[in-house]
């Protein structure tokens, strides 16, 4: 089966050949006609000049004078034409051939030709009734006396087509060579450009075959401007490949993580159930182990729900269509209200340092709500009773910054680099949070990263602070 590369070259070559053929035919036809017409105008001008010269000579001599013959021989030599002069009756008395003797001298011009010259000129393609061996272009002019206007004779200027097209033949040869050179250069450019256009398509086909085998690493090299069709196609293909690769990574991570997290509780449940069934566990202890089976089952249920929630929230946060402009100050105040009872119960002093005016950001409101909620939930959970909880919102340059601080147990330095990892729980969280599955901070970082923003954490001397950024709505071309 022919490739698109061969087909494109064949079609383009055919179109180029047709265009060059039409150009050559038009060029030759129009050029030849123009050259002949231009040459005939020169012949007419030559006939007028010779007639004027002959009229001047006739005042002192006859039209057969040898000086006039020398003059027309010289003019004929310089113009490449054949010239002869007749008397008033059409008898040739002077010729540009082999002066002073010529076989044309004494011959008579046909009477019908003379009759056609009543208006003073003659311009035809003729042999003058056998005077010439073949057809020629003939231009003729009457020779009149300057004083009386009487017809003294006629001047005939003739030329063959081959003589008229002598320079045209050379010109045509070089023109055809130029056309051939243009065709060769055009073909080379067509081959180069077609190959360049076909290369990314071949790469896409090869990459697609690898995608089908589960390898999502190949990318198509971008050699085009992204504003044209091929460049946009390559960019879209590579973005699709990135999405597929990320989806495959998330799928693999999901399977690996859930397999790891499910293995322990399922082993525990199976072990206790087998112990009850085979009698290894005494009947009086069965209730205690059944409670353990129930707790592990509930933990499995929470784990599955949390993982599904994380997957959904990550997907929603990456959807640009869900992003809108909203007041981050108002959102934080609403979330703080939901923690009022928990903060009061723990005797926490909540200090919201929020701007007096609205601070508009551009993001997925639901996802950012989850981020602030998770961070505040961690802060309330791990803050020491009676301590201060600080929430600060401010603007710096083109970003909005949210800072959440709590006073409590310091996160170990060894745990800080992994605090946002999936299923990671530090010693601090394990000592307090018995039901956590280690997905809260992972979800927070995933949402912030999906917005192309950053989140950082520091913990020292009992003070832990999380800070994240969001884009301002005013920098997205959105009115407040």
Residue 156 has pLDDT above 60, yes or no: yes
Residue 123 has pLDDT above 90, yes or no: no
pLDDT of 432: 34
- The gap from C-alpha 392 to its chain's centroid, in whole angstroms, comes to 46
Q: At what angle do helices 365-382 and 440-450 cross, to 10 degrees?
A: 150
Q: Determine the average pLDDT of the residues in 123-147.
A: 87
What's the chain's average pLDDT?
A: 82
Q: Which residue has the tokens 């002598």?
A: 166
Residue 373 has pLDDT above 80, yes or no: yes
Q: Degrees (nearest 5) of the Cα angle 137, 139, 144?
A: 165
With bands split at pLDDT 50, 70 and 90, how would you rate the model's confidence at 276? confident
Residue 463 has pLDDT above 60, yes or no: yes
pLDDT of 347: 92
Report pLDDT digits (tens) over 75-113: 888 888 899 999 988 998 888 886 556 778 888 988 888
Output 30 or 329, whichever has higher pLDDT. 329
Q: Determine the average pLDDT of the residues in 29-37.
A: 76
pLDDT of 316: 67
pLDDT of 208: 85
DSSP state of 410: P
Q: Which two tokens stand for residue 202?
A: 């071949």
Q: How much of the chain exceeds pLDDT 70, in percent? A: 88
With bands split at pLDDT 50, 70 and 90, how would you rate the model's confidence at 434? very low
Report pLDDT digits (tens) over 315-364: 666 778 888 999 999 999 999 988 888 899 999 999 999 998 889 999 98
Q: Determine the average pLDDT of the residues in 381-395.
A: 92
* Greatest distance between any 2 Cα atoms in the chain: 159
- The gap from C-alpha 35 to its chain's centroid, in whole angstroms, comes to 46
DSSP state of 409: S
**Could you give the domains of the chain?**
4-168 (3.30.450.20), 216-317 (1.10.287.130), 321-476 (3.30.565.10)
Residue 182 has pLDDT above 50, yes or no: yes
C-alpha span between 456 and 459 (Å, rounded): 10
- From residue 185, alpha-carbon distances to 18, 173, 179, 344 in Å are 16, 18, 10, 84
């Amino acid at each position: 089966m022919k490739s698109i590369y061969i087909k494109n070259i064949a079609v383009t070559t055919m179109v180029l050949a047709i265009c060059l053929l039409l150009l050559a035919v038009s060029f030759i036809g129009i050029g030849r006609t123009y050259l002949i017409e231009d040459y005939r105008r020169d012949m007419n001008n030559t006939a007028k000049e010779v007639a004027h010269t002959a009229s001047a000579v006739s005042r002192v001599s006859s039209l057969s004078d040898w000086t006039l013959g020398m003059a027309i021989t010289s003019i004929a030599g310089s113009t490449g034409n054949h010239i002869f002069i007749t008397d008033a009756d059409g008898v040739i008395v002077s010729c540009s051939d082999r002066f002073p003797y010529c076989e044309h001298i004494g011959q008579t011009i046909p009477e019908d030709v003379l009759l056609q010259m009543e208006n003073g000129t003659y311009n035809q393609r003729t042999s003058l009734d056998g005077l010439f061996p073949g057809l020629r272009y003939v231009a003729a002019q009457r020779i009149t006396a300057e004083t009386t206007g009487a017809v003294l004779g006629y001047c005939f200027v003739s030329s063959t087509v081959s003589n008229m097209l002598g320079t045209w033949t050379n010109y045509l040869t070089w023109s055809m060579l130029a056309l051939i050179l243009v065709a060769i250069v055009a073909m080379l450019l067509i081959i180069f450009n077609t190959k360049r256009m076909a290369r990314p398509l071949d790469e896409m086909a090869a990459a697609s075959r690898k995608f089908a085998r589960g390898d999502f690493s190949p990318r198509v090299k971008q050699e085009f401007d992204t504003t044209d069709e091929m460049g946009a196609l390559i960019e879209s293909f590579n973005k699709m490949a990135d999405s597929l690769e990320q989806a495959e990574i998330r799928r693999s991570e999901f399977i690996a993580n859930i397999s790891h997290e499910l293995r322990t509780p399922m082993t525990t449940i199976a072990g206790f159930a087998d112990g009850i069934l085979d009698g290894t566990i005494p009947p009086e202890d069965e209730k205690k182990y059944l409670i353990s089976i129930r707790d592990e089952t509930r933990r499995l249920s929470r784990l599955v729900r949390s993982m599904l929630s994380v997957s959904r929230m990550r997907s929603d946060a990456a959807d640009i269509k869900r992003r809108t402009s909203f007041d981050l100050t108002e959102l934080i105040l609403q979330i703080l209200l939901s923690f009022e009872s928990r903060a009061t119960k723990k005797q926490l002093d909540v200090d919201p340092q929020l701007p007096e005016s609205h601070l508009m950001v551009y993001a997925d409101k639901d996802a950012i709500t989850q981020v602030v909620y998770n961070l505040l939930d961690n802060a309330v959970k791990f803050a020491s009773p009676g301590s201060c909880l600080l929430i600060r919102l401010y603007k710096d340059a083109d970003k909005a910054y949210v800072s959440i601080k709590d006073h409590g147990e310091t996160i170990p330095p060894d745990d800080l680099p992994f605090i946002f990892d999936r299923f990671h729980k530090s010693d601090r969280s394990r000592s307090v949070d018995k039901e956590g599955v280690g997905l809260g901070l992972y979800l927070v970082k995933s949402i912030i990263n999906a917005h192309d923003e950053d989140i950082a954490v520091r913990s020292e001397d009992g003070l832990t602070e999380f800070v994240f950024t969001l884009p301002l709505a005013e920098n997205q071309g959105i009115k407040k």
